[in-house]
Amino acid sequence: MSLKKSVNHQVPFFLLRLHNLQTRIVMLVDMDYFFAQCEELRNPAIRTKPVVVCVFSGRSEESGAVSTTNYVARSYGVKSGMSIFLAKKKLKNVDAAFLPVDERYYEEVSGKVMNILRKYADRFEQAGIDEAYLDVTQRTNGRFQEAKELAVSMKDELKGQLKLTCSIGIGPNKLVAKIAADEKKPEGLTTIAPEGVKEFLSPLNVGRLLGVGTKTQEKMHSLGISTVHELAEYDPQELNDIFGRTMGIYFHNAALGIDDEFDEERSEVESFSRIATLKHNSRDLSFIMETAERLCSEIQKLAVTERMNFRTVGIIAILKDLSAHTRSKTLENPTSSLEVLYENAKELFEKFFNETEGEARRVGVRVSNLSREQTNQKQLTSFI
């Protein structure tokens, strides 16, 4: 057993309210008309014109495809994937800028963008040259309003530092965040809290779901499914039969706004903790343990729900002078036992008050060193 000690932690892990582990807040930040915006950045004079970034195939000035366009060009119906020939036709007699792609330059701008975005995330995942997912659950205390304010600050910084705009979607998972980001462009900010997910997704065309391409969409239409609501209502077993089990389950869940990826991330949760203010300042162990017992019980229930065992038990005591003191102890074996948690927390508080003068104002309990409880099935296969 090891006994760790640290004093005056300014921001203890305890500040994270536990229910937030279930209500995630995820943002998808997607830069507006990225390649074309980069071109405007180095040559602001073209801003007011249609800007068409082209992948020239080399045979003639008109062979090749449009990579992307600014929104001025989009108002003429010119967009990504279109042939340069058609784009030129649509912009006939218009003063437009047709430019070749310069990926190295866009990569360089992308790097600067990502460096700014990364600062705003608890967890960060770049998902393309011009987009990234940010898990902001912890730093927004699980509050969507705070996430929205964070998004506004981030937009301001991107504009201030790099003179670039983006569109942001905020949701309870990646799937919803991505669709929300597509909702309003350019310079959009769309927030979908968990209670609004169903209403938001239901009327959308199934094509808005990641993984539903033109072919799948046609297939779905032939089954009478055109909206996300219709997909959500469709017999999941039939979806499995038609699209295969993996995609069937994915489509069903996606239509309900459920995104499994966070189950994986949950295993990365490092600790469960609770903190409470005592009814009055005290250094009396039995009085403190009345509160600590409740905290232990809440934490243990959560560990059981999450099917996690813990190996380290920690306590925190915030004294009258607001100094924060922590103690922790690592057990021989992982456990989820309430009794073990309680007894170890008690021992740590006892030891702490023997060593320290002063009365506690707030006390907290934390478990960490988490491991996923093995299911019987896993145990069986691990013998094979």
| Residues of this chain that bind ligand DCP (CB under 6 A) | 30-35, 67-68, 80-81, 129-130, 185-186
Query: Tokens for 244?
Result: 């295969």
Q: Which does 135 bind (CB under 5 to 8 A by kind): ligand DCP, Ca ion, none?
A: none
d(CA 40, CA 56): 19
* Residues contacting 209, CB < 8 A, separation 6+: 175, 179, 228, 231, 251, 254, 255
Residues of this chain that bind Ca ion (CB under 5 A): 30-31, 34, 128, 130-131
| CB of 35 or CB of 262, closer to ligand DCP | 35
Supply the minimum distance, in Å, between the C-beta of residue 220 and ligand DCP.
Answer: 22
d(CA 375, CA 152): 44
Supply the minimum distance, in Å, between the C-beta of residue 360 and ligand DCP.
Answer: 52
Q: Which does 200 bind (CB under 5 to 8 A by kind): ligand DCP, Ca ion, none?
A: none
Hunting for tokens 């040559």 — which residue is that?
43
| CB of 30 or CB of 40, closer to Ca ion | 30
Supply the minimum distance, in Å, between the C-beta of residue 103 and ligand DCP.
Answer: 9
Select which of 131, 149, 183, 238 is catalytic. 131
Angle formed by the axes of helices 103-118 and 144-157, nearest 10°: 140
CB 119 within 8 A of CB 161: no
Q: Which does 35 bind (CB under 5 to 8 A by kind): Ca ion, ligand DCP, none?
A: ligand DCP
d(CA 63, CA 85): 7
Q: Which does 80 bind (CB under 5 to 8 A by kind): Ca ion, ligand DCP, none?
A: ligand DCP
Cross-strand bridge partners of residue 328: 4, 314
> How far out from the chain centre does Cα 163 lie?
25
Q: Which does 138 bind (CB under 5 to 8 A by kind): ligand DCP, Ca ion, none?
A: none
Supply the minimum distance, in Å, between the C-beta of residue 81 and Ca ion.
Answer: 14
Q: Is 131 assigned a catalytic role?
A: yes
Secondary structure element (H or E) that encloses residue 304, with its range: helix 285-305
| CB of 151 or CB of 193, closer to Ca ion | 151
d(CA 57, CA 49): 24
Supply the minimum distance, in Å, between the C-beta of residue 166 and ligand DCP.
Answer: 9
Closest by CA to 157, choosing from 124, 127, 114, 123, is 114
| CB of 36 or CB of 317, closer to Ca ion | 36
Hey, which residues are catalytic here?
131
